Structure 1
């Protein structure tokens, strides 16, 4: 078994952001929606920077209009996961794109997504859990609607709550009420921080929202005291190296802090974020990290173990995934 062939766990994957361009174009043709401007001459998603990426991302979601669309999307995304030997994944879902934050509509969308997930678990062996996620630049009031959707559907499939979007909009603390709602529903918590918001945004997410995981979090490397706090509080970083390079957070993988963070004792995991937007896959992430940092099978087994321990899932699921990881060659 090669490094890129080994079973993998992915904790930071946006369902809408994982939509293959061909899938979105096909839906657009079916619905007679013109979104051709979001693709380049090769058919890939086209954007200039992070904020333009957000606009293109949201434009792509405009063709995802029904629960059946999300059923088909979930199957397509999980097929790609299976092709990359991902055996367990957690996906961010935005109720804003699944019924506009209305609980009743959200339940219909979620049922379709969960049905697709159950089918693909049987057919391809990929286990999926859902993390409803508010969109930061949609504001705190809309986030409360997302938290209500998450709280009303918390269970074996919906296991967490998070926040994505523009890190420069407002503060982490502005969304504390939504996070309190999710916490009361016993959902586990994560938030995007430390990508564009700098190290201080990571500290704010930990202090103001009480998260146990951070989406990205790589800018924490700039603050030694924060590094020590992350280690002390056992906070796990959902690192997406390919995403950070594609969006220009770092110029080159050799400059990326994932190896330095890990050497300092920070718990890190590896994910793709929005893979077709960033021209990456989990196989590519593993291969690039091995080539750049000289990591071997033991390193990637340790990354998988960190991800398994940090996963927002029940003990039964964790044991099932652990059993599959035991197939990795020593």
Structure 2
């Protein structure tokens, strides 16, 4: 049973949140061959980080219309609301929209429509963070940043980078981040997931970040942990994803509790939920059952996520009010 604690998510890739059943349904509608995308059990088939990226791109390729994306957002937010999620920021990709062939305005417009439908029905609030896909390269990143800035709407609240952190230097992407930063978008960047503490340090040195996606391997360097705590850099932690991808061999080896004890602001997130057999409800359950977090700790983690959210102050005030009154769905 899902813990009856309000939950706030800051790190979820929207295409990576697509349930296999929805992907199969849309693949049939659009004539896309996804026969190699799933294993015999019907789950996404992947074996390591590289094959995960390929599987993710394969799932993303079935979304072809604005209504497809609306259905994706509505489906994910509805499922999240049933587990007590009151707010979620999802990562969107101008690169994926371009590769699919849908105009970016239609892409985010569909997602916003789906989010509004979920909010009207279930009270969950959704916002968007456009991303650079690191493995597509620095030049493509600049174009992605320009696309994001050219299509600013109230639901777009930040900018970041995901993808294969083993490719290119993070400093190579500084021009793209500068475009977003100068447009007033707060910044996040994946680092310290597949690579170690030096990846986190490089991201902090190159970019004016407020949050780091994952960042958990900063725990390998005590000086870097102190820096994160001193500068109040928020980590978007995804324990279920980390163990599924073998970043850590077990939850017992995960540094979430140690980072929090050291004063680093940490949050809980589902990342790419069906790929990693998780959800926001499961992430909070993992934190309680395996990471030593009490229900009071989990409430405090949700409060940290509210303050770290990239949304406007009026939305944060609504979320704080829901935390204080307990006005959230419970399962």
Q: TM-score, normalised by structure 2?
A: 0.96
Count how many residue pairs are aligned between Structure 1 and Structure 2: 327
1:217 equivalenced with 2:188 (yes/no) = no
| Structure 1 contact 131–162 (Cα < 8 Å) conserved | yes
Unmatched 5+ stretches in structure 1? none
Between 115-124 and 171-180, the greater mean CA deviation after superposition? 115-124
> Equivalent residues in 2 for 1:90-105 (5 A)?
90-100=89-99, 105=103
User: After superposition, what is the alpha-carbon deviation per residue over 1:173-207, rounded to whole angstroms, capped at 9, x for unaligned?
Assistant: 01000000000110010000000121111111111
Match of 2:81 in 1: 82
Distance in 2 (CA, whole Å) between partners of 1:162 and 1:226 is 21
| Structure 2 contact 251–291 (Cα < 8 Å) conserved | no
Match of 1:40 in 2: 39
Match of 1:270 in 2: 268
| Structure 2 contact 64–100 (Cα < 8 Å) conserved | no
> Equivalent residues in 2 for 1:243-282 (5 A)?
243-282=241-280
Once the two structures are TM-superposed, the CA of residue 266 in structure 1 deviates from its matched residue by 0.6
Match of 1:143 in 2: 141
Question: Does the residue aligned with 2:98 lie in a helix, a strand or coil?
Answer: coil
Match of 2:286 in 1: 288
Match of 1:298 in 2: 296
User: After superposition, what is the alpha-carbon deviation per residue over 1:63-110, rounded to whole angstroms, capped at 9, x for unaligned?
Assistant: 1112221111111111111121110000000011223499x9211221
Distance in 2 (CA, whole Å) between partners of 1:309 and 1:251 is 31
Once the two structures are TM-superposed, the CA of residue 153 in structure 1 deviates from its matched residue by 2.4
Between 186-195 and 80-89, the greater mean CA deviation after superposition? 80-89
Once the two structures are TM-superposed, the CA of residue 154 in structure 1 deviates from its matched residue by 2.7
| Structure 1 contact 163–191 (Cα < 8 Å) conserved | yes
Match of 2:29 in 1: 30
Match of 1:68 in 2: 67
> Equivalent residues in 2 for 1:164-179 (5 A)?
164-179=162-177
Question: Does the residue aligned with 1:133 lie in a helix, a strand or coil?
Answer: strand
| Structure 2 contact 257–292 (Cα < 8 Å) conserved | no
| Structure 1 contact 95–101 (Cα < 8 Å) conserved | no
Distance in 2 (CA, whole Å) between partners of 1:3 and 1:17 is 21
User: After superposition, what is the alpha-carbon deviation per residue over 1:237-268, rounded to whole angstroms, capped at 9, x for unaligned?
Assistant: 00000000000001110110000000111110
Distance in 1 (CA, whole Å) between partners of 2:67 and 2:117 is 14
Question: Does the residue aligned with 1:250 lie in a helix, a strand or coil?
Answer: coil
